[in-house]
Amino acid sequence: MSIPALGVRQELIGLGVAGDGTAEVPTDFDDVGWFAPGGRPGARGPTVLMGHVDSTAGPAVFYDLRALAPGDVVDLTVADGSTATYTVTGTEQVAKDTFPTAAVFGATTQDVLRLITCTGAFDAGARSYTDNLVVTAVRSG
């Protein structure tokens, strides 16, 4: 995976469903995870990638994700070794307690990419951010 506008280039790790029914997140703050039960890069449906915004040690892999703007590109290497290029169409900040799971992870007829990280206020008691940032991009090449 490559996000040229942010200088991010990272191999993807596979993620699944956690014991509580939510999507797993990477354990390493430098990893970008692909939600493997969902869409596949380069195919119809939503491909969902997740990464951390920061850690107690500082910025993490998706720290600058909020800087992505419509027109920026994300490149993914697909199974056959070719590159699928996606163009950012928008970003949305959503509360974690009302996360639109069906809209983000649900089936689509398009080849869509969604990048997710944490954002919003930091809840020190829960040691977590209150919101998620969801960046949407569509296949452009």
The per-residue pLDDT for range 67-122, each reduced to its tens digit, is 999 999 999 998 899 999 999 999 999 999 999 999 999 999 999 999 999 999 99
CB–CB of 14/36 below 8 Å? yes
- What rounded mean pLDDT belongs to the chain? 94
Residue-wise DSSP of 68-123: --TT-EEEEE-TTS-EEEEEEEEEEEEEGGG--HHHHHS--SSEEEEEEEEEEEEE
CA distance 122 to 126: 9
The CATH number that domain 2-139 falls under is 2.40.260.10
Q: What is the pTM of this model?
A: 0.95
Domain ranges, ordered by start, for the chain: 2-139
| pLDDT confidence of residue 114 | 97
Structure tokens, 113: 């990419």
